[in-house]
Structure 1
């Protein structure tokens, strides 16, 4: 963990000879920042849990926001003076990209409790310090909103301190969850009292009421949507987002129907997509991205897409640029965080999967016009292409009639398939398909 953190820190350009964390906030505004932060009501709880440790042992307790900026600290006068020298003070930032490997920044970077001892710090000025820190995740938004840390001199801070710090973070998260459930209950009662149709969402998009089937999942990704805007839901229906009390309401919009995205990616021709009333040819890269999103309906991050397309040599920045170009053509059909298709989808390769599941060889022969994105070198799509090819061939050889086998023999891989051609060559001599198959066998 420390080695990986050092690599991230050095890649970020951190100077090991730096002497302090940077001051990033105007201290005249610190009180307003504290009052607005969701951890503010829990400060007495954290102080009660950890400040005794700080007061009794000469350590300092620190609470930061999700970017490692110090919001509060408590400790004795002597340790606070030492902390001031390195920027363990209000308004200073302790993210890895600011000061390199440290308890706060590395806990936020890894998402788990972390103990950083003495020379494990990247900056030499911190080698006299040790830190135990744990991130705090908001159960409402699912985001890391802060970090609690106990720091002290290297010899005096026991590594087991990280367990106590982690317990304090979990205690804060449980209190946040309790407050969230209380707000949900208040919002749900108000929703039920007005009897309005729709699906009730929290301000962060969590589904609170009105979706008994669970079709939307736990959360609706609001993204850049704003009240009054139409949203395409996971099931392809369209709804209007409108404010309701302290949350939102997704109101059904039966008059509006979502356009279907139709993908034609089988065979040797150029891949095409139809959306709304327009059909458009696609570049191979855009076709690969849409195929991967269709195969992963729950969505993929830029990093996952990059790996599926390029393997270990992928670059997520390239994927984000390609997605930006695709969204310029398809608009709301592609959502972000994670990237996913939000409209109804019809794809020839997905239809092929359904025919394979049903064992319908006649429908399979009609649907299979050739390999999936034949020119694609994507590791994931090559696996999918080879698997589909093997399953189609096996099904047709086992259950297909002469017409089905002849249809397969017209595809890129079927033209020279020895076993398929032998079956066709055995047809009556008067059948022209038999003559064609024998001719191919001769070559």
Structure 2
């Protein structure tokens, strides 16, 4: 980089970020992503704008480039053959990511970093190969959230550089933004129309949810108290974004069992959101508190949801009713089955078999366990196929016929999506109990934390109120297993005293509810670690990471990082 030439401050800072990111100064090396979603809000809004502009620029030495919020090129239009060949030579093409951290100073990545429009003249590029171009990038933001959707970039050869490029890019970005507004208004109108129709026809509680919209009618607000409302809102996350009708049964803290019937709303082929009608399956008794399940050693949880599922299993076990426990991985299906069965039948041996471990020997092992007088749990029954499935079916039929162990109790565990399971196997199990994910009984987390630490032999740790509240705000995608892993990470760093926010793993200091990509998760963790290192000083953390202050503030908000 030539130090003799005067450099604008934004460019100098961008070079410093590029240097800190160890960008190759000789050749750009953008990463390639082979999957591009063509039906995003940004793509739908940008397509007609880019169509119109590119039709006017055919064979002109100017190229229109659209990227997403990560700098991945989504579309490239216009440009004469010579310019397109040059762009291909540096991989400035659909699928490649032109983030500043990968290719250095450029109109796309630098616009994303500074959070505003910028023109990069040829010599201002950090990478030598990019100095043959001049490019102007203008960010496109969401009209409701203000979040970045992407960048509209205008690129030409350096000898054609002109300040009009930036005006052109800003004008195109503004047109796309306006179309995003129009679509958002149209989608919201479609959702609102379905919501009002449902309110008129149902006469009961109704919810509506879109990307940026959540509505609850007056009947729902009057019928459910604040705690039940919070549980309902949390349960709707399982329906959000769904394109097919869905029915969800959920137990609310009050003891009511609610039936949530979700129906999606479309505007043409575009999902606008969905409307949920709620019916109460079993209203709570008004004169007394809901009955509580007895304390079962080996289980932890006093919430109404957890008490209800425990009671269901107790009832089935006391009747020696064979059952299926389904639920998300890590929700505690096997632990709950074991604890409840041992509580009901403490003198009987309980065997657990897993198709992934026993393989073809599972039917023979199941028969041997049952003949020896054991009860039986088969984990991950969705993995049973072929001869193993037929062999197990024969064993279970022998139990039913009284040929072997006629008094045996058998249970299966299945994942929450109830993966394919043969009808002939399902016929043996008249009862299915859904074990709720941890996010549906977050009030049990304090007790779970104490229990999991005790089981791990950690006795000297307590959690501050702020830290515990943070744990109770997290989605816990891996459920109780996920919580156990987080506590193990805490215990590796601290074995006594009070656990504060800074002691939690990075993922536990962010509250984003969407599923992060591996790259996003690494970025989130790096930001959390930098903030911890500099005692929450965002400017110092941004400098250490090679980010602008605007970028780190945006990412803190996007990832829900607690500072």
User: What's the CA shift string for 1:300-330, capped at 9, x where partnerless?
Assistant: xxxxxxxxx999xx799x432x55xxxxxxx
Q: 2:274 aligns with which of 218, 232, 248?
A: 248
Residue 204 of structure 1 is matched in structure 2 by 211
- Aligned mates of 1:223, 1:123 — CA distance in 2: 48
Distance in 1 (alpha carbons) for counterparts of 2:84 and 2:182: 33
Output one character per residue of 1:183-242: Cα deviation in whole Å (capped at 9) or x when no partner: 2212222222233444543442522563799x99xxx78896346668999xxx998765
- Aligned equivalent of 1:373: none
CA offset at residue 8 of structure 1? 4.0
8 Å Cα contact 2:42/2:150 also seen in 1: no
- SS of equivalent to 2:160: coil
Q: CA deviation at 1:133?
A: 1.0
Kept after mapping to 2: 8 A contact 1:17/1:124? yes
Q: Equivalences for 1:118-133 in 2 at 5 Å?
A: 118-133=122-137
Structure 2 equivalent of residue 24 of structure 1 = 33
Alpha-carbon distance change, 280 to 34 in structure 1, aligned in 2, over 3 angstroms = closer
Q: Deviations over 1:353-404 (max 9, x none)?
A: xxxxxxxxxxxxxxxxxxxxxxxxx989xxxxxxxxxxxxxxxxxxxxxxxx
CA separation in 2, counterparts of 1:143 and 1:89? 24
Is 1:9 the counterpart of 2:12? The answer is: no
Q: Provide the rounded CA distance (Å) in 2 between the counterparts of 1:81 and 1:146.
A: 24
| Cα offsets for 1:145-172 (capped at 9, x unmatched) | 3321101123422234323312321221
Are residues 98 and 65 of structure 1, via their aligned partners in 2, closer, same or farther at CA, if it must alter by over 3 Å?
same
2:64 counterpart residue number: 61
- Map 1:401-412 → 2, pairs under 5 A: none
* Helix, strand or coil at the partner of 2:108: helix
Superposition map of 1:242-391 within 5 A = 242-246=261-265, 247-249=273-275, 278=447, 287-288=463-464, 290-291=465-466, 318-320=505-507, 322-323=508-509, 336=512
Identify the match of residue 77 of structure 1 among 74, 81, 85: 81
Query: CA 1:189–1:123 in 2, change beyond 3 Å: closer, same or farther?
Result: same
Asked if the contact 1:241–1:249 (Cα under 8 Å) also holds between the matched residues in 2, the reply is no
Q: Which residue number corresponds to residue 161 of structure 2? A: 157
Q: Deviations over 1:266-313 (max 9, x none)?
A: xxxxxxx9858949779999845x427969x999xxxxxxxxx999xx
Deviations 1:33-71 (A, max 9, x none): 54667424532323434764x558622111223332242
Alpha-carbon separation, structure 2, partners of 1:253 and 1:259:
21
Residue 178 (structure 1) shift: 1.1
Distance 2:12 2:258 in 1: 48
CA offsets 1:85-130 (integer angstroms, 9 cap, x no match): 2122233221223322211122233332222222332211111211
Rounded to whole Å, the distance in 2 between the matches of 1:51 and 1:20 is 31
Distance 1:167 1:232 in 2: 52
Over 3 Å counting, the alpha-carbon distance change for 1:178 and 1:245 in structure 2 is same
**1:110 and 2:120 equivalent?**
no
C-alpha distance 279-148 of structure 1, shift in aligned 2 (>3 A):
closer
Q: Distance in 1 between matches of 2:210 and 2:34?
A: 27
1:210/1:223 CA distance change after superposition, 3 Å: closer
3-state SS of 2:126 partner: coil
Distance 1:285 1:69 in 2: 48
State the number of aligned residues: 300
* TM-score, with structure 1 as normaliser: 0.51
Does structure 2 retain, via aligned residues, the 8 Å contact 1:6–1:100?
yes
> Secondary structure in 2 aligned to 1:103?
coil
CA 1:169–1:192: 2 relative to 1, 3 Å: same
CA RMSD of aligned residues (A): 5.3
Shift in alpha-carbon separation, 1:145–1:189, aligned structure 2, 3 A: same
Question: Which consecutive unaligned segments of at least 5 residues does structure 2 have?
Answer: 1-9, 240-245, 266-272, 285-289, 291-301, 305-441, 475-498, 515-533, 537-563
